[in-house]
């Protein structure tokens, strides 16, 4: 069947192992080509395209702790920390 192969990453030049299990997975999915990048370079490439969310710091309207939220808080609606939000959501 399949045997582990040592491949060289085209991104960083380091060697990595393309395991027999990974080869079997590739075959099941119908992939024709072997991976050209090591796991670290694949992950870095994948994460590079993701945009970073801007986080805003505010004060929880329930407990007064600092909370980071992914939106610009306005004064017309209360903002809760994750613990208080989960507790309020659980009550409904």
pLDDT, tens digit, for every residue of 44-81? 998 887 777 889 999 999 999 999 998 999 888 999 99
Q: What is the dihedral of CA 53, 54, 60, 61, to 10 degrees?
A: -100
Inform me whether the pLDDT recorded for 92 exceeds 80. Answer: no
pLDDT of 34 reads 95
pLDDT of 88 reads 87
**Angstrom distance (rounded) from CA 90 to CA 41:** 40
pLDDT of 53 reads 81
């Amino acid at each position: 069947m399949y045997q582990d192969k040592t491949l060289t990453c085209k991104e960083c030049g380091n060697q990595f192992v393309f395991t027999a299990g990974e080869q079997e997975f590739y075959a099941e999915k119908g992939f024709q080509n072997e991976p050209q990048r090591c796991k670290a370079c694949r992950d870095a490439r994948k994460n590079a395209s993701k945009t970073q969310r801007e986080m805003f710091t505010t004060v929880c309207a329930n407990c007064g702790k600092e909370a980071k939220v992914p939106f610009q808080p306005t004064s017309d609606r209360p903002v809760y920390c994750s613990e208080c939000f989960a507790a309020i959501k659980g009550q409904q």
